[in-house]
Amino acid sequence: MTKARRRERKRKSQTKARKRKASVTLRGSQCRSLRQRDTRYVNSMAQVTATAIPQNNPTPAPRNSIVRRGLDVLTIPALSILTAFIVSGFVIAFTSPEVLKLLPQFWQHPLKLLTTMHETVTTAYAALLQGAFGDWGAIWQGLESWLATGNATDLLRALRDPFESLVGATPYIFTGLAVAVGFKGGLFNIGVEGQLFAGAVASAWVGFSIEGLPWFIHLPLALGAGIAAGAVWAGIAGLLKATRGVNEVINTIMLNYIMFLFTDWLLSDGGPLRGNAGAPRTPEIYPSAYLPRLLPDPVRFHWGFFLAIGAVFFVYWLLWKTTVGFEIRTVGASPTAAKYAGIAVGKVFVMAMGLSGGLAGLAGANELLGLNHYMVAAFSPGYGFDAIALALLGKSNPFGVLAAALLFGALRNGATRMQSIATVPIDIISVMQALIIAFIAAPEIVRWLFRLRTPAQQEHEVFARGWGA
């Protein structure tokens, strides 16, 4: 065999390998998704150019003032919340047994029916507001008696409600950030609830199985375990998306249920984490892993809230001040463009998903280490699912999410009060949240209801995608 022929063969095999590579990169499903994304990218570019060149567009006066712009941003969320409240008010009124009893006699006593409806709704919402923001008269009286006598019992009892709203907001801040980080990276993490469970289980395990550590080691260790568990659980979906191109939505849904069942098994009779108590729960964690409380008893306010505020700033810093954050946002805006810019899109998917899951796991750890101190199967009233509403409401901005979480925490806490005083079941706030998501996602409904002008530039927070990739 001559040298020339050998070289020739080598060259041939190299071209073959190269072509093989080319054929791999454009496999069927990927090819399709790339094309889809391309058209979307082109469309969005067209939109940008269209808005950049105002062609006899009836554009309103230039919006320079920050106040004006702030109002514009807030209009839709505020009106969505308002509309959701109004609709839920009707639901409360028309499902009330008293109102239903009066309904057949509407023509005889129309006024009576209307006043009953009005009363039902105002009682409910008054209880909601009082539960959410506290009874300020009682707080004032408590303060006076504390200053006069030194007895703080009344004050603390009055302070419980407003602080409880913050306690309720804390997991919402974490889970809302989790979904928001996913959105920023173009990922829809619907599995926050499962990751929250993973985090809580892991931190419970660290919390009760290690004894004798000082708190400054035990507490970070337990928190870290929660973060790691959540990150790993979400990372599975990220990894499958990066390597096999599987849509993360369906995988996170499935991972949710796997985690719920797994937790059930861990806590079941004879399960590995089952405590000695008769109920399905873990043993109590050691106090060295507690997130300390700031005020004496009935107030349950703990350091987790400040951890959450820290997380808000951390996510802001990470997304807008670091290379990693830039990469996440670029991939979220356009994976194709990111790929052309030399960003390892798959790696970013895994990272964004891991970050999202870590925040979700922290939410679980926070609830466990700050409030319950042991794990039960039903410890979350759906923080992970509500988080989707939060991220949409906060436009995936960490500070927006913070504001939305404070609102939802107050709502949930207020609704507990509403349930006990006005006997309106707490689940009405799920209805409200669903309506809020719908209105935020379809702002045309709100604009039509309130006769608002359609803005020239429309924003799309989340890109619609199929299962394919």
Partner 1 sequence: MFGMVATAAARKASDVAQQRRWLVGGMLVVIGLLCLWFFAMQVPADVISKYRFSGGGDPVQLPVIELPTRLTNFILALALIAFGAFHITRGVAHSGALFGVSASLLLAIFLTWSIRGASLNLTGLLESTLIRSIPFLLGALSGIMCERSGIINIAIEGMMLTAAFVSVIVGALTGNLWIALVAGLLSGALIAGAHAVLSIRFKVDQIISGTVINIFAAGLTNFLNLRWLTVNQELNNSGTFAKLPIPFLSDIPVLGTILFNQIILVYIALGLMFAVNFLLFSTRWGLRTRAVGEHPKAADTLGVNVFKIRYANVIFAGMLAALGGAFLTLGSVGRFDKLMTNGRGFIALAAMIFGNWNPFGSFGASLLFGFMDSLQLKLQILTSVIPSEFLLMAPYLATIIVLAGVVGRVRPPAAEGIPYEKQ
**Residue numbers at the binding site for partner 1 (CB under 8 A):** 16, 19-20, 22-24, 29, 32, 36, 91, 95-97, 188, 190, 240, 244, 246-247, 249-251, 253-255, 257-258, 261-262, 264-265, 268, 271, 385-386, 388-389, 392, 424-425, 427-435, 437-438, 441-442, 444-445, 462-468
Q: Which is nearer to partner 1, 91 or 210 (CB)?
A: 91
Cα dist from 435 to 75, 189, 288, 297, 408, whole Å: 16, 20, 42, 36, 13
Q: Which is nearer to partner 1, 279 or 442 (CB)?
A: 442
Over its C-alpha atoms, the chain yields an Rg (Å, rounded) of 27
Q: Which is nearer to partner 1, 151 or 423 (CB)?
A: 423
Q: How many CA atoms lie within 13 A of 455 on its CB side?
A: 13
Q: Which is nearer to partner 1, 164 or 386 (CB)?
A: 386
Q: How far is the CB of 419 from partner 1 (least distance, A)?
A: 8
Q: How far is the CB of 441 from partner 1 (least distance, A)?
A: 4
Residue whose pair of structure tokens reads 């320079």 in the numeric block: 64
Q: How far is the CB of 14 from partner 1 (least distance, A)?
A: 12
Q: Which is nearer to partner 1, 210 or 333 (CB)?
A: 333
Q: Which is nearer to partner 1, 257 or 306 (CB)?
A: 257
Q: Which is nearer to partner 1, 72 or 264 (CB)?
A: 264
Q: Which is nearer to partner 1, 19 or 109 (CB)?
A: 19
Q: What 3-state DSSP class applies to 376?
A: strand
Q: How far is the CB of 28 from partner 1 (least distance, A)?
A: 8
Q: How far is the CB of 370 from partner 1 (least distance, A)?
A: 26
Query: Where on the phi/psi map is residue 460: left (φ > 0), alpha (ψ -120 to 50), or beta?
Result: beta
Q: How far is the CB of 202 from partner 1 (least distance, A)?
A: 18
Q: How far is the CB of 326 from partner 1 (least distance, A)?
A: 24
Q: How far is the CB of 240 from partner 1 (least distance, A)?
A: 6
Q: What is the DSSP string of 196-229?
A: HHHHHHHHHHHHHH--S--HHHHHHHHHHHHHHH
Q: Which is nearer to partner 1, 231 or 267 (CB)?
A: 267
Q: How far is the CB of 37 from partner 1 (least distance, A)?
A: 11
Tell me the two tokens of residue 413: 């806490």
Q: Which is nearer to partner 1, 211 or 269 (CB)?
A: 269
> Tell me, what amino acid is at 367?
E
Residue pair 73/437 in contact by the 8 Å Cβ criterion? no
Q: How far is the CB of 277 from partner 1 (least distance, A)?
A: 20
Q: Which is nearer to partner 1, 231 or 242 (CB)?
A: 242
Residue pair 360/196 in contact by the 8 Å Cβ criterion? yes
Q: How far is the CB of 92 from partner 1 (least distance, A)?
A: 9
Q: What 3-state DSSP class applies to 62?
A: coil
Residue pair 356/182 in contact by the 8 Å Cβ criterion? yes
C-alpha–C-alpha distance, residues 21 and 330, integer Å: 26
Residue pair 252/194 in contact by the 8 Å Cβ criterion? yes
> Which residue, 355, 378, 405, 402, is CA-closest to 197?
378
Number of neighbours of residue 253 by Cβ within 10 angstroms: 15
> Tell me, what amino acid is at 241?
K
C-alpha–C-alpha distance, residues 423 and 135, integer Å: 19
Task: Decide: residue 70, CB within 10 A, 0-12 exposed, 13-18 middle, 19+ buried.
Answer: exposed
Residue pair 181/356 in contact by the 8 Å Cβ criterion? yes
Task: Decide: residue 332, CB within 10 A, 0-12 exposed, 13-18 middle, 19+ buried.
Answer: buried
